[in-house]
Amino acid sequence: MCSLALFPPPPLLGDVTLYEGNNALVSGRVLETLPLPFQSQLADLPTLTIPKETLKAHSRLEHSTKPAFIHHRESLWKRCINAWRDVGVCGVLSEITSAEEEVLQWVKTGSRYALAVCHWVSSLHGSLFPHLSLTSEDMIAEFSQAVDWAGCSIRAFAWHPHTSKFAVALLDDSIRVYNTNSATVPTLKHRLQRNVASMAWKPLCASILAVACQSCVLVWHLDPTSLSTRPSSGCAQVLSHPGHSPVTSLAWAPSGGMLLSASPVDTAMLVWDVSTENCVQLQWFGGGGVTHLAWSPDGSKVLAATPSAVFRVWEAQMWTCERWPTIKGRCQTGCWSPDGSRLLFTVLGESVIYSLSFSEYKGEMQGQVGGPKTASIVADLSETTFETVYGEERIGGEVHSMVWDPSGERLAVIIRGNPGSRTVIAVFRTRNSPVFELLPCGFVQGEQGAQPQLIAFHPCFKKGALLTVCWSTGRISHIPFFFVGAQFPCFSPSHSPMASLSRSSTRVREQPLFSEL
Amino acid sequence: DHAKSSSHCKNGSPGIKRVLGWRAAVGAAWAVLLLPPCAAAFVVLSSADLCRPLRWVSDSFNDLYTSYTIFCILLMSVVILVISIFNVEFYTVAPSIPCSRLALIGKIIHPQQVIHSVVHAIMGMLVAWCAAVITKGRFQFLALPCTASESLDAVVSYVCLNEYHLFFLLFGAFVGYSYSLLYLVNNMNYLPFPVIQQYKYLRFRRSLPQLVKHSCVESLYLVRNFCIAYYFFGKCCDIILFLHKIHPLDNLAGLLDLSLFYHTWLCGVFLLIPWYIAWLLFKIYATEAYHFPVQPTFAEETDQCLPKILSSNPPLIIKFLALQDLMLLSQYSPVRRQEVFSLSQPGGHPHNWTAISRECLNLLSDLTQKLIIHQEAAATNGRIKQPSPGEINKSLNFPEEMAFQAHRSNVLPRTHMPSLVKSLSPLKTSTASDLGSSFGSPFTSPALNRKPGILDLNSPWHGSVQSPHIMRRGPKLWTSSSDLQTNGSYPSSFPMVSVARVGHEAEQPSFMYTWLQNKQEQIRSFLSKRVLVMYFFSKNPEASIQAVFSDAQMHIWALEGLSHLVAASFTEDQFGVVQTTLPAILNTLLTLQEVVDKHFKLPHVSSKPPRISGSLVDTSYKTLRFGLRASLRTAIYRITTTFGEHLNAVQVSTEHKKRLQQFLEFKE
């Protein structure tokens, strides 16, 4: 098993991790530029800072025109109809109960009792699934993959699966799309685009972005050749379904046709045929909702985490599922190996990474997920003390989010520290075949005082892997990992920048590491 | 519709037809099996007595085993079987969409539909009778002995009409008729194929709550409508029939009876739920994916293989199933993909791949053609060019020549639009007849079915020929019935009528002809000013666009299947069989893409799908064109992302090369 004790010590305070080369992470001062051979690789990637202060706060808290009008008391009948439309039965009951007009006394009493019963039932429901009593904003903050969703200026981040283009969702509910090939930065705003929890670009498509909002899923159709910086809200398709809000997670099918959306309130996840706006509910009671989705890169399986101590793995052809109860808490995050044969996941309350391996997908075994009986622990991330120049530093704790690079060679993990330790990004080297291996690579450190907020790998970086980190300061930086992929050993050596580098910091590691053998 | 087209089919694929028959039978059997639970629920609910719950439960359990109830369940099983037979007879995979109100009325009074309605009304009455018998109490009998003291001295015993019972029976007939009407109007005979594959049980379970809710709500509306109708018509009937009634119901007081209302509503629900279940089960069973073998294991199975079925002209449902299977195998099954890419044993020809790709490309280029024709009509803004008679004769001689050319012109040379149109015209003319025969046409007459000539009239071939007669189309007055016939899929309707006439006058075209034309135009402009006429004849642009894309599901699958196979061939195709067709595939896809893009820029075409309410009735045929546009783009991207820079080596025209480059750069 791999543990944090095997990691090289974190970089010096004030240093920033710059890149990985020659098998080791290299850090240096902020202003220090990359060695020359690497610069050409990253020349056009924008490194930007979006501080919280520059974002305009909401000019109005109430998103309606109500305060602008003089208050007018409608008749009870009308108010009841409005309440029915807005809230439902409970709204009508509370409206009648609080009515000042002369209503039949027994109607009032009856509705008061009915309301009490409603409250009792909902509190019972809430005690079974405590997350249901949260407000939707708290719920998104709780289940989002961002470390500090509520406080940080960056709330969600998504790389386009085929090109160097990414979208950043900001605190002020706007989304900016950065493209390496063009200077225009479209800013997306929509009336319904509030509290963005997650975003996803449609695969096999130029520019369609799905956004998980508080009340619906918005699908933006952006014209890649357009020079407009402010696409109209007419470019957005609204996908909403009653009872399916807030939406906290989205996943596109890798083959491009379908979109999955999940809400912690809805026990069903929805399969959208986005072009026709048809949706199919995949109902599976138990768990109280779905918080996080991860579609395997080969398109065969989907991980669906729930707010309770159980998660499911769906098989994406006939849509049957396997249920995985966990011991301690809910599944916080998970990621798939590129061939879809292995799932790594973490559980809230435990500082380990679990692994599940699935039999290779053939397509002939319809309706079987084909998972093993138990999950194995592959990494132990419990708190470890490192000796540094400035004294002891404690690192380790629960995993908040985890991403696997598309070539299956690097795994980046955000470890949320206990109160005594800090939040760090740990990077592992991985190999999936012939046997699964997980080796330590190092810690990634940002500027002083910056905590990692979100991580994502560039989907098609040719020279290895490229990790994009959003920091709590609002900075978005890109950290390249230069290596020669094991799957493509015939990687052209002439382009490899390794040869031109000679750093003394390389040292071959020979500690016992996790290996399946 | 299906039966008709299947009888036309020369190539029998008996194995699959038997499978389809079995599926329908199993669906009906399940519907019958689900009847007793429905009946039990009805018994329990109809004898609801909240004040004495224990007695209610025990009573309803006793009622369940009475001979009445069992007889009723048997009778209703027969009803369900009849309904299932109608479902099987009436289904279609490509819905026929009426383009104007007149067309809709034409559909309603079509004999087939009248039979459908009458039978459903009778079945509804039977179910209502069962419901009345099971409900017991005052509803049970039609005639009751009643003692009326008309004269003071003698008590005369009459047989009186129990109007409650009559009310039930008529309500049943009303619901049956409404069901049939809604079945037609909502295109409930359309078989929508599911977005995702799921097991039948799960699909059924998913739809069941919706079904129950839909039935309850619809029954509520039907009760309301029926009460209104009964109130007004009840008076008239009384006068005619001189009936003796115990409790007259055709007054307001009689109708405002809560118990009557409840029982009637329950009867409606009890009627609708089993019917909808039968309908739903049929849909689920019929659209279940069928596994066609790619390569025959035995010689006698050759007819049932996927390539064979695709290249023959089977009933539309079988073609749909075959294309669905192609899509599934191309996406999920490496083993079967390998069979597609394999070479024939003696000879080494890629027969499987050739047959499959040829058929898919034919489908797609047919669609391209259809769209171009539609666009031509729309782009001229209702103007259509009337060919001179000489041209007609010429064009009628063309088909053979065209058929000859068609073999070679799968690959469309790409030029900019007008010349593209010209280059397309020598394509297969059989498209039109395919089109026509695939849609059930109530008013089909053999004379009207001669389409090649008609198509030519309309085709851009003639549009390019200079002709003196330019006709203002305006609201298409004469065309509605023939629109119905061609399903509005292309605006051939007006020329069709004129062709028949013009053909006769081919010898003396000059004066008579122009005079007639003028008169016709005068009458038309006169009529088009009348509001009522406009109301019935005006075409709904949205409907005619929907009609063009009514069978687009087939094309979506062809696109997905083809693109997945091509993408998989990058790593799996050992003999390079796909490479030979790659230019043709790219050409077809890019041409289609251009035409589809153009289509969405036409006026009247909404660029966003309409909101679909999550109701039981599937309206997915209304949004198929959006699905087609999206999957076309995805298909091209799938090929370009897989092949990447290698595509530069593929032989395509420079125009297409530019387009491909844009796709490679993700700028489309």
Q: Which residues of B fall within a CB distance of 8 Å from A364?
A: 333, 335
pLDDT: which is higher, A369 or B299: B299
Q: How far apart are the C-alpha atoms of B314 and B11, rounded to whole Å?
A: 7
- Reference B96, options B185, B220, B30; nearest CA is B185
B641 interaction partners in chain A (CB closer than 8 Å): 162, 204
Q: How confident is the model at residue A287 (pLDDT cuts 50, 70, 90)?
A: confident
CB contact under 8 A, B333 and A364: yes
Q: For residues B165 and B138, state if they share a domain.
A: yes
Mean pLDDT of B544-561: 92
Has residue B448 been placed in a domain?
Answer: no
- Highest mean pLDDT, choosing among B55-69, B124-138, B166-180, B291-305: B166-180
- pLDDT tens for each residue of B391-444: 334 433 433 334 334 444 443 443 334 434 444 433 433 333 333 333 333 333
Q: Percent of chain A beyond pLDDT 90? A: 36
CB within 8 Å of A235: residues ≥ 6 apart = A220, A221, A222, A223
Angle between helices B14-33 and B35-46 (to 10 degrees): 20
- Contact at CB, B634 and A278, closer than 8 angstroms: no
Q: How far apart are alpha carbons A196 and A174 in whole angstroms?
A: 9
Domain-located, residue B171: yes
pLDDT band at B618 (very low <50, low <70, confident <90, very high): confident
| A224 contacts B667? CB cut-off 8 A | yes
CB hemisphere CA count around B379 (13 angstroms): 16
Residues of B with Cβ-Cβ distance to A258 under 8 angstroms: 195-196
**Which residue in B623, B633, B641 sits closest to B668, CA to CA?**
B633
User: Of A429, A477, A132, A198, whose CA–CA distance to A333 is shortest?
Assistant: A198
Among B264, B287, B310, give the residue marking a domain's end: B287
Look up the domain containing B642 and give its range: 299-380+542-665
Residues 6 or more apart in contact with residue B475 via CB below 8 angstroms: B528, B533, B534, B537, B538, B539
Decide if B194 touches A, using CB distance below 8 A. Answer: yes
Query: Is A277's CB within 8 Å of B612's CB?
Result: yes
For residue A10, is the peptide bond before it cis, meaning its omega torsion is within 30 degrees of 0?
A: no
Structure confidence by residue, pLDDT tens digits, A208-258: 999 999 999 999 999 988 888 999 988 999 999 888 989 999 999 999 889
pLDDT value for A493: 35
Residue count (chain B): 668
- Please tell me whether residues B308 and B200 are part of one structural domain: no
Asked whether residue B84 is assigned to any structural domain, the reply reads yes
Task: Quote the pTM value.
Answer: 0.81
Find the mean pLDDT for residues A266-289: 88
User: Between chains, do B202 and A364 touch, taking CB under 8 Å as contact?
Assistant: no
Which residue, chain included where needed, has tokens 């109209």? Answer: A232
pLDDT value at residue B57: 84
Counting the structural domains of chain B, the total is: 2
Q: A443 - beta bridge partners?
A: A426
Same-domain pairing of B235 and B318: no
**Is pLDDT above 80 for A368?**
no
Nearest to B432 by CA among B385, B392, B467, B399: B399
Interface test with A, best of B634, B638, B658 (most A CBs within 10 A): B634
A 251-270 residues with CB below 8 A of B? 255-258
pLDDT exceeds cutoff 80 at B12:
no
Rounded Cα–Cα distance for residues B225 and A207 (Å): 50
Query: Does some domain include residue B405?
Result: no
- Check pLDDT > 80 for residue B471: no
Q: Could you tell me which residue, A375 or B478, shows the higher pLDDT? A: A375
H or E element that contains A476? strand A475-482
- End residue of a domain, out of B253, B287, B321: B287
Closest Cα in chain B to A242: B614
Cα separation, B178 vs B172, in Å, equals 10
**Containing H/E element for B526?**
helix B511-528
Within 8 A of A225 by CB-CB distance, chain B residues are 667
Q: Please state the rounded mean pLDDT for residues B207-233.
A: 91
> Cα–Cα distance between B668 and B664 in angstroms, integer?
9
Work out the minimum CA distance from A177 to partner chain B, whole angstroms: 15
A241 and B638: CB-CB below 8 Å?
Answer: no
Q: Taking CA atoms, what residue in A is nearest to B328?
A: A317
Q: Do A362 and B638 touch (CB under 8 A)?
A: no
Give yes or no: residues B263 and B310 share one domain. Answer: no
Handedness of CA A21, A25, A31, A32 (dihedral sign): negative
Confidence bin at B249 (pLDDT 50/70/90): low
Residue B521 lies in a domain: no
**Shortest CA gap B588–chain A (Å):** 19
Note whether A204 contacts B641, CB cutoff 8 Å.
yes
Assess contact for B249 and B163: CB atoms under 8 A: yes
More reliable by pLDDT, B113 or A59: B113
Q: Do A274 and B630 touch (CB under 8 A)?
A: yes
Any domain includes B457: no
Q: Residues of A with CB below 8 A from B631's CB?
A: 257, 275
Q: Which helix (H) or strand (E) holds B379?
A: helix B351-379
Is B199 an interface residue toward A (CB < 8 Å)?
Answer: yes
Pull the structure tokens for residue A86.
Answer: 């807005």
- pLDDT over 80 at A402, yes or no: yes
Residue of A nearest to B563 (CA): A255
Same domain, B174 and B268: yes
What confidence score (pLDDT) does residue A486 get? 65
| Ramachandran category for residue A135: left, alpha or beta (phi over 0 → left; psi -120 to 50 → alpha) | beta
How far apart, in whole angstroms, are the C-alpha atoms of residue B215 and residue B224?
14
Q: Output the CA torsion A429→A432→A437→A438 (10° steps).
A: 40
The answer to whether A295 touches A317, Cβ cutoff 8 Å, is no
Verify whether the Cβ–Cβ distance B196 to A258 is below 8 Å.
yes
B197 in contact with A, Cβ within 8 Å = yes
CB neighbourhood size of B380 (10 A): 14
Q: Quick check: A280 and B624 CB within 8 A?
A: no
Cross-chain Cβ contact A362/B627 below 8 Å: no
CB contact under 8 A, B333 and A363: yes
Residue ending a domain, among B236, B263, B287, is B287
Question: B197 to chain A: nearest residue by CA?
Answer: A318
Residue B428 lies in a domain: no
- Which residue in B has a C-alpha nearest to residue A160's C-alpha? B666
Subunit contact A277:B623, Cβ cutoff 8 A: yes
Of B332, B630, B665, which has the smallest distance from its Cβ to A317's Cβ? B332
d(CA A181, CA B28) in angstroms, rounded, equals: 60
Can you tell me the distance from the alpha carbon of A196 to that of A171, in angstroms, rounded to the nearest whole number? 9
User: Which of B162-171, B194-203, B316-325, B579-588 is the least confident region?
Assistant: B162-171
| Strongest mean pLDDT among A105-109, A362-366, A428-432 | A428-432
Residues B99 and B190 in one domain: yes
CB contact under 8 A, B667 and A255: no
Residue B454 clears pLDDT 80, i.e. is over it: no
One domain for residues B265 and B358: no
First vs last C-alpha separation in chain A = 11
Domain contains B20: yes
Please give the residue that has the higher pLDDT: either B386 or A314: A314
Closest residue of chain A to B329, computed from CA coordinates: A363
Residues B280 and B325 in one domain: no
A163 contacts on B by Cβ (under 8 Å): 665-666
**Minimum distance, in Å, between the CA of residue A202 and any CA atom of chain B:** 10
Q: How many of the other CB atoms lie within 10 Å of CB of A418?
A: 13
Residue A427, SS3? strand
Give the nearest partner residue to B620 out of A276, A283, A363, using CB atoms. Answer: A276
CA separation for the pair B115, B157 (Å, rounded): 41
Question: Given pLDDT bands bounded at 50, 70 and 90, which one contains residue A120?
Answer: confident
C-alpha closest to that of B557 among A365, A299, A257: A257
pLDDT single digits (tens) B380-398: 654 444 444 443 344 334 3
Q: Would you tell me which residues 270-329 of chain A have a C-beta closer than 8 angstroms to some C-beta of chain B?
A: 271, 273-281, 283, 317-320
Interface-testing mutation among B193, B195, B549, B619, with chain A (most A C-beta atoms within 10 A): B195
Q: Is B525 on the interface with A (CB under 8 A)?
A: no
* Any A CB within 8 A of B209 CB: no
- Taking CB atoms and an 8 Å limit, are B623 and A276 in contact across chains? yes
> Are B279 and B308 part of one and the same domain?
no
Report whether A499 contacts A69 (CB < 8 A).
no
**Residue B7 burial (10 A CB sphere; 0-12, 13-18, 19+):** exposed
Higher pLDDT, B346 or B499: B346
> Residue A37's pLDDT band (boundaries 50, 70, 90)?
low
Measure in Å the smallest separation between the Cα of B449 and chain A Cα atoms.
34
Q: Give yes or no: residues B252 and B303 share one domain.
A: no
Asked if A277 lies within 8 A of B630 by C-beta distance, the reply is no
B114, pLDDT greater than 90:
yes
Give the nearest partner residue to A281 out of B206, B564, B634, using CB atoms: B206
Closest CB to B195 among A162, A280, A320: A280
Helix (H, G, I), strand (E, B) or coil at A468: strand
Please indicate whether residue B353 or residue A38 has the higher confidence score (pLDDT).
B353
Establish if B337 touches chain A: CB-CB under 8 angstroms: no
**Residue of A177, A273, A365 to mutate when probing chain B, most B C-beta within 10 A:** A273
More confident residue, A197 or B146: A197
Position A43 scores a pLDDT of 66
Residue of B nearest to A364 (CA): B333
Q: What is the ipTM of this complex?
A: 0.87
Indicate whether B268 and B342 sit together in one domain.
no
B283 and B311 within one domain? no
| Cβ-based burial of A313 (10 A; exposed 0-12, middle 13-18, buried ≥19) | buried
**Residues A271, B194: C-beta atoms closer than 8 Å:** no
In this structure, of B235-249, B280-294, B451-465, the range with the lowest mean pLDDT score is: B451-465
Greater confidence (B638 vs A242) lies with B638
Q: For testing the chain B interface, which of A162, A184, A201, A204 should be mutated: the one with the most B CBs within 10 Å?
A: A204
Mutation choice for B interface testing from A180, A221, A278 by most B CBs within 10 A: A278
pLDDT given for residue B423 in this prediction = 40
Whether B335 sits inside 8 A of A273 (CB atoms) is no
